[in-house]
């Protein structure tokens, strides 16, 4: 009988293929004591295993295609750095010596101590970095135990078209899966914000994480269906189910191909309203993707990737080079560069001893952090100002909550510009400076901000989080995360109106902008600029081009006054 298991889809798409199960987590670690005489040979065993692990990882790194983003290599470098770190060798050797125990046991003790340190961290993103420790330790354990490293299992084209099931996967595994034609994956653990998930999205591999117990219920080589869009794994499918998913898969492929015809078409509603469809860029891979889907610009360049997986910060030149390559690919289209939005669930290489906040999403995050940490902020600001000489650049300030922050950034930009002028460095003196409206304080007082800014960008991911008071990375309150919450809708409408009154452009770059269930409602509320991941942009254009704005405006505005939840639901249903 067919069964289905549920998890969190990290990328879109359906794959049908045979399962290959990677048993990786349950290494059978034998613990035993060694004699004084065996000390030297046991230490050598450990060193050789570490050396082999480094060789394996370097080989994986060398196989990354040249045109793949540097960030992917950086993930592997993180593991290489750990292997080179004294914590893995000197400390583990010390444990062997002090406890007279075998290398596997010493490594396990070392792993447990490090894992505990990660578990104790308040920062959700940093806690997920424990995966790196697990990965590196199990890699060495496997070699010690003569297990085939995972890379050998997914190496070559042996598993082409198959679906990999694992307890967890690493960023380097994700690169290899893509290279070797693996159709999809599902893992027992992991979260949608882990590096592996982020890479899977960028590389376009259908994948589901958090499918608890998947390897218990599936047999090797069993035919599986992965519906990553819905986060469902279907096993033992009967003919009818298989036919259903094959149709769904074919339909999606046809739909994507048919959407491609829209690439060069203008985004214009049936009644002639021109709509600006821009792309969100999270990774260097997205630069080209944004161009390929015919985005009219980049509405949000999340620059946080420049700071991830490293202990230092990018300098001015590194920022500048990254902006230059995006501007070059976009070839004259506007590029909106957001200053760093580190903190909360986003990576932040904390110095030892830095206080970890109890409520990081309400703490020193985004522009607050920038204004507090000159070494992070000024190199980026200078690079953005210099990049403005290369093409149409807009600077975007994340998480504005007071007008003072906006005024301070504008003053800082002017200071950098006059410094550039003194040093004969080119820049665009008219570079627009805009603000993310993603904190209720800014949305409620958008009319106060509008005269000081050149544009608004509504960040619904955070606006929803802060308005309804739900942590956007906390599973337990996910059910409350509702873009159609009346309070959220009123804040969005108020922001659009405040921008219109001041005649400044307003866009939306949160996930709501790319979700076609809300497109008509947003058009009805007056939104004309959407920014979303390139993979969603053509679907969005399709809906825009089939909408008659004049017919949805009245209902959209009426929704803002409809306090009866049932009536509101009925009304919103007419706008889908």
> Choosing from 20, 79, 111, 195, which is the catalytic residue?
195
Residue located via tokens 């292997």:
83
Q: How far is the CB of 6 from Mg ion (least distance, A)?
A: 27
Give CA–CA dist 455/367, Å, rounded: 17
Determine if 461 is a binding residue for ligand PEP (CB under 6 A).
yes
Determine if 339 is a binding residue for ligand PEP (CB under 6 A).
no
195 is catalytic: yes
Tell which positions 528-547 bind ligand PEP, by CB under 6 A. Answer: none
C-beta closer to Mg ion: residue 83 or 436: 436
Residue located via tokens 């578990």:
119
> Left if phi > 0, otherwise alpha if psi is -120 to 50, otherwise beta: which for 147?
beta
- Beta partners for residue 226, in sequence order: 15, 233
Site string for ligand PEP, 397-436 (x = CB under 6 A): ----------------------------------------
Q: Within a 13 Å sphere around the CA of 403, how many CA atoms are in the beta-carbon half?
A: 9
Determine if 439 is a binding residue for ligand PEP (CB under 6 A).
no
C-beta closer to ligand PEP: residue 12 or 302: 302
Q: Which residues contact 567 (CB under 8 A, 6 or more apart)?
A: none
Determine if 227 is a binding residue for Mg ion (CB under 5 A).
no
C-beta closer to ligand PEP: residue 83 or 366: 366
CA-based nearest residue to 162, from 22, 18, 21: 18
Determine if 341 is a binding residue for ligand PEP (CB under 6 A).
yes
Site string for ligand PEP, 133-172 (x = CB under 6 A): ----------------------------------------
CA-based nearest residue to 161, from 211, 213, 209, 226: 226
Q: How far is the CB of 483 from ligand PEP (least distance, A)?
A: 10
With CB under 6 A as the contact rule, which of the stretches 35-43, 114-122, 453-461, 521-529 interacts with ligand PEP? 453-461
The CA-CA-CA angle for residues 449, 450, 455, to 5°, reads 115
Determine if 343 is a binding residue for ligand PEP (CB under 6 A).
no
Give CA–CA dist 178/154, Å, rounded: 10
**By the 8 A CB rule, do 313 and 375 touch?**
yes
Among 379, 435, 459, 526, binds ligand PEP (CB under 6 A): 459
- Beta partners for residue 397, in sequence order: 435
Determine if 510 is a binding residue for ligand PEP (CB under 6 A).
yes
Q: How far is the CB of 210 from ligand PEP (least distance, A)?
A: 20
Site string for Mg ion, 445-464 (x = CB under 5 A): --------------x--x--
> Choosing from 20, 101, 111, 509, which is the catalytic residue?
509
C-beta closer to Mg ion: residue 508 or 556: 508
Q: In what order do the strands lie in the sheet with 163-166?
A: 3-6, 232-235, 223-227, 14-22, 163-166, 184-187, 207-209, 8-9
Q: Which helix (H) or strand (E) holds 572?
A: helix 565-573
Site string for Mg ion, 359-388 (x = CB under 5 A): ------------------------------
C-beta closer to ligand PEP: residue 303 or 309: 303
Token pair for residue 92?
Answer: 């583990």
* CA distance between the termini of the chain: 36
CA-based nearest residue to 326, from 293, 291, 361, 374: 291
C-beta closer to ligand PEP: residue 285 or 511: 511
Give CA–CA dist 254/108, Å, rounded: 50
How big is the site for Mg ion, counted in residues (CB under 5 A)? 3
DSSP class of residue 452 equals G
C-beta closer to Mg ion: residue 379 or 459: 459
Site string for Mg ion, 399-438 (x = CB under 5 A): ---------------------------------------x
Q: What are phi and psi of 137, to 5 degrees?
A: -65, -45
Select from Mg ion, ligand PEP, none the partner in contact with residue 395, using the beta carbon and a kind-dependent cut-off of 5 to 8 Å: none
Q: How far is the CB of 461 from Mg ion (least distance, A)?
A: 5
Determine if 286 is a binding residue for ligand PEP (CB under 6 A).
no
Determine if 462 is a binding residue for ligand PEP (CB under 6 A).
yes
Q: How far is the CB of 9 from ligand PEP (least distance, A)?
A: 18
420 is catalytic: no
Select from ligand PEP, Mg ion, none the partner in contact with residue 302, using the beta carbon and a kind-dependent cut-off of 5 to 8 Å: ligand PEP
CA-based nearest residue to 468, from 453, 489, 447: 489
* Per-residue H/E/C for 142-157: HHHCCCCCHHHHHCCC
CA-based nearest residue to 138, from 94, 93, 97, 83: 83
Give CA–CA dist 357/366, Å, rounded: 14
C-beta closer to ligand PEP: residue 329 or 399: 399
Among 77, 153, 438, 539, binds ligand PEP (CB under 6 A): 438
Give CA–CA dist 173/336, Å, rounded: 32
Q: Which helix (H) or strand (E) holds 466?
A: helix 460-468
With CB under 6 A as the contact rule, which of the stretches 122-130, 176-184, 455-463, 534-542 interacts with ligand PEP? 455-463
How big is the site for ligand PEP, counted in residues (CB under 6 A)? 10
C-beta closer to ligand PEP: residue 300 or 367: 300
Q: Is the dihedral of CA 81, 85, 87, 91 positive or negative?
A: positive
The CA-CA-CA angle for residues 238, 16, 286, to 5°, reads 150
Which residues are known to be catalytic?
195, 509
Residue ranges in contact with Mg ion by CB under 5 A: 438, 459, 462
Residue ranges in contact with ligand PEP by CB under 6 A: 300, 302, 341, 438, 459-462, 509-510
């Amino acid at each position: 009988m067919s069964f289905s298991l549920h998890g969190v889809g990290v990328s879109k798409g359906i794959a049908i293929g045979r399962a290959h199960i990677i048993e990786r987590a349950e290494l059978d670690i034998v613990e035993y004591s060694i004699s004084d005489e065996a000390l030297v040979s046991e230490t050598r065993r450990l060193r050789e295993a570490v050396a082999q692990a480094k060789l394996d990882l370097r080989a994986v790194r060398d196989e990354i295609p040249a045109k793949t983003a540097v960030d992917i290599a950086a993930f592997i470098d993180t593991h290489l750095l750990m292997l080179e770190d004294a914590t893995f060798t000197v400390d583990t050797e010390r444990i062997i010596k002090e406890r007279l125990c075998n290398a596997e046991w010493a490594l396990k003790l070392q792993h447990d101590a490090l894992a505990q340190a990660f578990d104790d961290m308040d920062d959700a993103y940093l806690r997920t970095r424990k995966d790196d420790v697990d990965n590196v330790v199990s890699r060495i354990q496997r070699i010690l135990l003569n297990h085939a490293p995972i890379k050998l299992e997914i190496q070559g084209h042996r598993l082409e078209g198959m679906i990999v099931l694992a307890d967890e996967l690493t960023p380097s595994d994700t690169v290899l899966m893509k290279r070797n034609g693996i159709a999809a994956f599902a893992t027992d653990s992991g979260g949608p914000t882990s590096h592996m998930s982020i890479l899977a999205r960028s590389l376009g591999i259908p994948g589901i994480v958090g499918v608890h117990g998947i390897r218990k219920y599936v047999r090797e080589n069993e035919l599986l269906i992965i519906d990553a869009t819905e986060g469902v794994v279907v096993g033992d499918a009967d003919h009818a189910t298989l036919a259903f998913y094959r149709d769904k898969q074919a339909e999606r492929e046809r739909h994507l191909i048919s959407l491609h015809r829209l690439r060069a078409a203008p985004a214009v509603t049936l009644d002639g309203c021109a709509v600006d469809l821009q792309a969100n860029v999270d990774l260097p891979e997205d630069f080209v993707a944004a161009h390929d889907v015919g985005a009219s610009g980049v509405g949000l360049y999340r620059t946080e990737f420049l700071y991830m997986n490293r202990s230092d910060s990018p300098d001015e030149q590194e920022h500048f080079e990254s902006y230059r390559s995006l501007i070059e690919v976009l070839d004259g289209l506007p590029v909106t560069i957001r200053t760093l939005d580190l903190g909360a669930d986003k990576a932040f290489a904390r110095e030892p001893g830095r206080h970890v906040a109890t409520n990081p999403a309400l703490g020193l995050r985004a522009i607050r952090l920038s204004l507090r940490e000159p070494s992070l902020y000024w190199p980026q600001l200078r690079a953005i100002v210099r990049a403005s000489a290369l093409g149409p650049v807009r600077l975007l300030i994340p998480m504005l909550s007071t007008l003072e922050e906006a005024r301070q950034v504008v003053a800082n930009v002017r200071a950098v510009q006059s410094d550039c002028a003194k040093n004969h460095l080119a820049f665009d003196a008219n570079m627009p400076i805009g603000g993310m409206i993603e904190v209720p304080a800014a949305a409620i007082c958008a009319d106060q901000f509008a005269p000081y800014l050149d544009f608004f960008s509504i960040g619904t991911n955070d606006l929803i989080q802060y308005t309804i008071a739900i942590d956007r990375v906390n599973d337990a309150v996910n059910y409350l995360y509702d873009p159609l919450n009346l309070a959220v809708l009123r804040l969005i409408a108020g922001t659009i109106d405040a921008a219109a009154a001041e005649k400044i452009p307003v866009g939306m770059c949160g996930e709501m902008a790319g979700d076609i269930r809300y497109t008509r409602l947003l058009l009805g509320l007056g939104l004309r600029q959407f920014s979303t991941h390139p993979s969603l942009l053509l679907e969005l254009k399709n809906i825009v081009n089939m909408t008659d704005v004049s017919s949805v405006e009245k209902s959209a505005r009426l929704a803002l006054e409809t306090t009866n939840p049932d009536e509101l639901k009925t009304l919103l249903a007419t706008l889908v």
